[in-house]
Amino acid sequence: MGILDKAQDKISDITGEAASLAFGDGTIDGLRGVIGKHGGMAQNNRFNVILTPPKTALLNINKDDIIDNLLSGSFDVKTLLSDPRDISFLCSRAALPSWNISTFEYQSNKMTNKLPYTYIHEDLTISFLCTNDYFIKKMMDQWMLNVANPDGQTVGYKSTYTTDIVVMSINKKNIPIYSYKFENAYPLIQTAIEFEQGGTEFINFDVTFAYDRFIPEGTVGGSADGISNGFGKLNIPGGGNLASKAGSYATEAKDYFSGFGK
């Protein structure tokens, strides 16, 4: 082997080692190591939705329903106010909306470049399972009537019909990994519920929400917003507003950790 061949082999060895350090060894074990280092693979069935509608949408004061329940002996005063925690259990599907940067073309030195000026996001769509009492359906109907009432041709004040929604990806220990907070959200569209003779499937329907903006958040931020925006509105009998206290503690942790790296 000549000097040139030895030099070429040495260069190949150095190049191979550099590539291995930069891009990994390209083996199955290497892939497993990368996945393990980042906590494993995310699963699309591990998620949670924290949604607390305006108070007017949570009230179940339909007189026909109350009379029917009284006559059937199934009336319970607790049913007059819906528990927003039930919404999380009945949410069957949610999606983090896509978004993109809007640009305009700028020509300089015979080249055309794209310069950003804003961003566009899609609406938020959430699917719900429908129980026999149509709890979710009635709540969404009332919420949309608060936004725009066809009887009086009136539109409500924004502060009375909007709320924050948190959609979070969680791990097997139910700890939030990555979350989106959708600010000032309200329902725009409900999909149709179709009935079919001979059908055996559970009823579910989609609700599309508009919102002002979304904020990506990590573990601490998602937990803080999930507690304060969702369960923070629930008064715990005998213990004060316990959820609000927990939410304030989580918010303090969020503010503390957000100071790192600045």
Amino acid at 159: S
What confidence category does residue 240 fall into, taking pLDDT thresholds of 50, 70 and 90?
very low
Q: Which one has a higher pLDDT value, 14 or 31? A: 31
What confidence category does residue 58 fall into, taking pLDDT thresholds of 50, 70 and 90?
low
Q: Is the pLDDT of residue 180 over 70?
A: yes
pLDDT attached to residue 235: 45
Amino acid at 132: N
Task: Give pLDDT tens digits for 99-119.
Answer: 899 999 988 777 888 889 888
Provide mean pLDDT across the span 39-51. Answer: 89
Task: Give pLDDT tens digits for 71-85.
Answer: 666 555 555 556 778
pLDDT attached to residue 237: 42
Q: Residue 217 pairs with which residues in a beta bridge? A: 179
pLDDT attached to residue 175: 87
pLDDT attached to residue 127: 95
Helix (H, G, I), strand (E, B) or coil at 202: coil
Alpha-carbon distance 14 to 8, whole Å? Answer: 10
247 secondary structure, DSSP code: H
pLDDT attached to residue 245: 46
Q: Which one has a higher pLDDT value, 119 or 233? A: 119
What confidence category does residue 54 fall into, taking pLDDT thresholds of 50, 70 and 90?
confident
Output the six-digit token pair for 3. 């000097």
Q: Is the pLDDT of residue 40 over 70?
A: yes
What confidence category does residue 202 fall into, taking pLDDT thresholds of 50, 70 and 90?
very high
Q: Is the pLDDT of residue 163 over 90?
A: yes
What confidence category does residue 65 fall into, taking pLDDT thresholds of 50, 70 and 90?
low
Cα–Cα nearest to 126, from 234, 51, 71? 51
pLDDT attached to residue 190: 95
Q: Which one has a higher pLDDT value, 7 or 83? A: 83
pTM of the model: 0.68
* Residue in the block written with tokens 């906590």: 39
Q: Which of 75-84, 147-156, 186-195, 232-241 has the highest mean pLDDT?
A: 186-195
Task: Give pLDDT tens digits for 211-228.
Answer: 999 998 876 555 555 555
Other beta carbons within 10 Å of 256: 10
The answer to whether 190 and 207 have CB atoms below 8 angstroms apart is yes
Q: Is the pLDDT of residue 56 over 60?
A: yes
Q: What is the mean pLDDT of the chain?
A: 76
The answer to whether 70 and 248 have CB atoms below 8 angstroms apart is no
